[in-house]
Structure 1
Amino acid sequence: MNGKPKLPVSDIAFGLVGSCKASYLETYRLPLQLNYYTVYDFQGPFRPQLAKLAPWQAASIQRVDISLQQMALEQGELRNWLKEWYAKERHAGAYIAPRFLHAWDERFARKVESFPFDTLSTSISGRTKPQDGDELTLPITTEVPDDYDDVFYEKGTFATHFKARAMIARPLTHLTLRLAHEDWWHWGDNPTESSYTAHQLYLDPAVGKVPGSLSLKASAKIMEELAAKRRAGEDVQGQGTWGAIVGRLPDLVELQLVLETFDVKSHQLEKIAECAKTWKFPVENTPYELVWDGKVQDASWDIEPGAFERNYNEPLIMEVEDGEDEDEDEDTYWNLLDDDGASADEERESPPPPPPPSWNTLCTRFETRVVRFTRKRRDNTAL
């Protein structure tokens, strides 16, 4: 959508899941547990929409891959979106009950709310260790109108509870954040202009525009100054910034940043990758932190000229059918008679020339840097 490339064909082995019932029961969780849940249109409405997943599917997901703009990363949209994943409840051993709650809304007829999370206990599950499929007794929601039939359990006249099977909510362990070439602040600034030095690309987990952050006005200069402080041994952390938000995921073992820009700005991306080597993400209320794994992966890709936008320097060619007078057709096209009844013999005005293409529409090559952070104890011992 919106000029973005199509999603690749899935390489998940769904055939194994559908081969027979025995295989299905052993493997149906694996596609969701082992693969990333890809959010490819973060700027609302989110695609795909989490609320449209079945509860057992939401419970099985452990890896999330998000494409988003720097504005959404720094101004709290990532924080708000991650709240729907209940990372702390997952860490505590919660389950997701197979039930949807409906809050009635006259504007939209109904609204699907978040999945109901709860914590399994031996008194509920009847086992010392909760497992997928444990039977639960859950109350019937009273928020569904009596004439609303799109509920999979039978309400009954005097029914107050129903039986359901629980799915243990898996912890969130992997997070990928992607910024494409048009997702940065000042991404459209021309790198060849002399005044451009004040608008370099930047990124730092301790700065942003979230209330309580270290700096309200981040820049490439501030990014490099903070990196220098970290190299000198100073602990630089922001409060309420996207780096702190990442640290609130208690089970995260890997954070991956996929950063992309135009080839002509690759030197700016190199500075970000160099500063990223100093970043650390303390995991809240644990002795662990996410630190750079020692590698920066380089990648690049090319497109055909004009693949994103048409070339506006290309002249407009109008075909004339056989037997038509080309001059007559041209006179009709430019509407030579104005509102005042000007004569067709008067000198006609030439149309204004098309605007020159912007610098970014002429770019055909893009550079990417992938930086990973893995979980370690703060005394530098591996997990």
Structure 2
Amino acid sequence: MVRGVSQLLKFSRKSTPDDPLPPASVPIDSARRKMEQRVPLARSILDHPESIDSQLQSPLFGKLPRELRDLVWRFSLTRYEDLDRLYDIRKPYARPGQAAPLRVAVQLLRTCRAVYVEAFLTPFQVNPIMIFHGDDNDIPPGIPLMRTTENQFLCGELRFWQFANISSVETTLQQINLEGGGLERVSRLVGTIGRHHGHESRGYAATGYACFVSPTESSRSTSEVNWKEEHGGQLSSLPNPLVGRKITRLSIRMSRTDWWGWESRPEEGEASPSERLRLEPMINVTDLWKRPANYLAMTKGYEARKAGDEPDFQLDDFEKQGRWGSQIREYWPDLTTLELVLETFSCKKNQLDHVVQCAKLWTFPLDEGFHLVWDGKEELIRWRGAHSYEYEYRDWFTAHNIPQGAEAQSSTAIQWRPSQGNSGSDTNGQEFIIQTLTFRRERVKDHIDGDRS
């Protein structure tokens, strides 16, 4: 991905013996290490601009304006799949977009100081942090920006200022967790409320949740003051990098085994509402045997919204607090984009189609009259995986979830990994469906319902 950029950058690299590259690999004491959690190296470089070669002899710096260079940095530092290290196709986490470990070409930042000071924040601003809340077997290894609700030490290498500059989140949740307060827990892991209030990052608390503090409540450590004096006392070259960026994009993902009743045979869903795929943001739990009506909440909600009303599920005040659709307003107040990425077995496509049909009418209320509203676009992909998986304890998976059952569809299965020949090929594997819906921030008065048929 960055090969072309590297060819351009080779003209900007001025190779001199006295040109140290950030960060220097030299022993540092604990006080300085603590300081570096809070102050990026770029700040000290910018305090001494004479140490930066302007690189005007390079077309990248001599001809391209800063706005175009920023686009180059964003493209070059966006994560990509390391297809030389493919995951085993039989692993449940192997799928399009996760065919191999994700990488970020941070080597770009070591080419020269001019590049570093312009792009050192870009990897965190363009790449989402990934949060997994569910089965540990679904967690792909080798992801640089990843946390789980169980392991608070993942992402432990991130410095305070790096963590503060993340602005998007991808979370994979099982439905039991989504309907059980999962969005609140994920928000605490990334500190959405502290970021909303403009607080400063202090890493993670002992509980594993993100720690953000008000700038008025924090005080600089002695080591930071000493470091400031040591470097000329000019710590104003950059805005405060510890102030958390607001989380403006959230992607909620559910894999094929994350749904209630995912293991039910396809025909069982036709006969019983409790065995089919369902999702409704304004009810706390859609799988509750004491309330059979909950199994039909998604369809009931669709009929109400189609008629121009909001559904009434007869919830008490306590139950209303558990609705994941309402938790977005409380815990994700700065969202401008919400993605729903829903996956299932191809033999259950008709069930997912009904979920998507209902979801197009959902709106997620925010403050000040804003809602997250479906943008009118949907994306469907079909892909083929392994012939069998370790979670399969019923015969219908390999008997019914095969490409032949979906050949009548007009779309073709995408190529999501390099051909592996006869070994590990996905040619004869099971087939899966992924539907993506995007909701964007709009004022209610600006939203036109459109065709609700």
TM-score category of the 2 structures, normalised to the smaller one: 0.5 to 0.7
Deviation at 1:75, TM superposition (A): 0.9
Matched residue, 1:305? 387
Asked if structure 2 preserves the Cα contact closer than 8 Å seen for 1:68 and 1:177, the reply is yes
Q: Structure 2 counterpart of 1:79, which letter?
A: E
Q: Structure 1 pair 174/200, CA: closer, same or farther in 2 (3 Å)?
A: same
Indicate yes or no: 2:183 matched with 1:66.
no
Which among 116, 130, 139 is matched to residue 24 of structure 1?
Answer: 116
Matched residue, 2:126? 34
Indicate yes or no: 2:307 matched with 1:232.
yes
Q: Structure 2 counterpart of 1:371, which letter?
A: L
Indicate yes or no: 2:256 matched with 1:167.
no
Indicate yes or no: 2:440 matched with 1:374.
yes
**Cα distance in 2 for residues equivalent to 1:37 and 1:100:** 15
Q: Structure 2 counterpart of 1:56, which letter?
A: W
Q: Structure 1 pair 209/50, CA: closer, same or farther in 2 (3 Å)?
A: farther
Q: 1:108-147 alignment to 2 at 5 Å?
A: 111=206, 114-120=209-215, 137-138=219-220
Indicate yes or no: 2:166 matched with 1:90.
no
**Cα distance in 1 for residues equivalent to 2:212 and 2:247:** 15
Q: Structure 2 counterpart of 1:303, which letter?
A: G
Matched residue, 1:265? 348
Q: Structure 1 pair 370/310, CA: closer, same or farther in 2 (3 Å)?
A: closer
Matched residue, 2:93? 4
Secondary structure class of the residue paired with 2:108? helix
TM-score normalised by L of structure 2: 0.57
Indicate yes or no: 2:368 matched with 1:286.
yes
Q: Structure 2 counterpart of 1:208, which letter?
A: N
Deviation at 1:176, TM superposition (A): 0.4
Q: 1:222-371 alignment to 2 at 5 Å?
A: 222-236=297-311, 238-248=320-330, 249-283=332-366, 285-306=367-388, 308-309=389-390, 358-362=395-399, 363=401, 364-371=430-437
Q: Structure 2 counterpart of 1:16, which letter?
A: L
Q: Structure 2 counterpart of 1:65, which letter?
A: E
Asked if structure 1 preserves the Cα contact closer than 8 Å seen for 2:279 and 2:355, the reply is yes
Deviation at 1:297, TM superposition (A): 0.9
Deviation at 1:37, TM superposition (A): 1.0
**Cα distance in 2 for residues equivalent to 1:242 and 1:190:** 27
| Deviation readout 1:186-237 (Å, 9 max, x if unpaired) | 0001113487433211001011339xx9x96565532111111112121348
Q: Structure 1 pair 41/86, CA: closer, same or farther in 2 (3 Å)?
A: closer
Q: Structure 1 counterpart of 2:368, which letter?
A: T
Which among 263, 288, 291 is matched to residue 188 of structure 1?
Answer: 263
**Cα distance in 1 for residues equivalent to 2:396 and 2:167:** 40
Q: Structure 1 pair 27/370, CA: closer, same or farther in 2 (3 Å)?
A: same
Indicate yes or no: 2:295 matched with 1:206.
no
**Cα distance in 2 for residues equivalent to 1:253 and 1:279:** 15
Q: Structure 2 counterpart of 1:4, which letter?
A: Y
**Cα distance in 2 for residues equivalent to 1:226 and 1:310:** 32
Q: Structure 1 pair 218/89, CA: closer, same or farther in 2 (3 Å)?
A: farther
Secondary structure class of the residue paired with 1:235? coil
**Cα distance in 2 for residues equivalent to 1:34 and 1:217:** 44
Q: Structure 1 pair 87/303, CA: closer, same or farther in 2 (3 Å)?
A: closer
| Deviation readout 1:265-295 (Å, 9 max, x if unpaired) | 1000000000001100011x32211001001
**Cα distance in 1 for residues equivalent to 2:174 and 2:268:** 24
**Cα distance in 2 for residues equivalent to 1:264 and 1:277:** 22
**Cα distance in 2 for residues equivalent to 1:67 and 1:365:** 20
Which among 202, 214, 221 is matched to residue 296 of structure 2?
Answer: 221
Deviation at 1:358, TM superposition (A): 2.1
Asked if structure 2 preserves the Cα contact closer than 8 Å seen for 1:38 and 1:65, the reply is yes
Deviation at 1:21, TM superposition (A): 2.3
Matched residue, 2:83? none
Asked if structure 2 preserves the Cα contact closer than 8 Å seen for 1:190 and 1:196, the reply is no
Q: Structure 1 pair 66/217, CA: closer, same or farther in 2 (3 Å)?
A: farther
Unaligned runs of 5+ residues in structure 2 are 1-86, 136-148, 226-234, 313-319, 402-429, 449-453
Matched residue, 1:53? 158
The structure with the largest helix share of the pair is: 2
Deviation at 1:305, TM superposition (A): 1.8
**Cα distance in 2 for residues equivalent to 1:41 and 1:47:** 12
**Cα distance in 2 for residues equivalent to 1:64 and 1:365:** 27
**Cα distance in 2 for residues equivalent to 1:289 and 1:365:** 35
**Cα distance in 2 for residues equivalent to 1:310 and 1:226:** 32
Unaligned runs of 5+ residues in structure 1 are 102-110, 125-135, 141-151, 155-163, 312-355
Asked if structure 1 preserves the Cα contact closer than 8 Å seen for 2:190 and 2:209, the reply is no
**Cα distance in 1 for residues equivalent to 2:432 and 2:272:** 21
**Cα distance in 2 for residues equivalent to 1:31 and 1:86:** 19
| Deviation readout 1:16-49 (Å, 9 max, x if unpaired) | 3222223222211111111111224645424873
| Deviation readout 1:239-285 (Å, 9 max, x if unpaired) | 431101112212100000000111111000000000001100011x3
Q: Structure 2 counterpart of 1:378, which letter?
A: V
**Cα distance in 1 for residues equivalent to 2:110 and 2:321:** 47
Secondary structure class of the residue paired with 2:446? coil
Asked if structure 2 preserves the Cα contact closer than 8 Å seen for 1:39 and 1:47, the reply is no
**Cα distance in 2 for residues equivalent to 1:41 and 1:88:** 20
**Cα distance in 2 for residues equivalent to 1:208 and 1:100:** 29
- Structure number, greater radius of gyration: 1
Matched residue, 1:77? 182
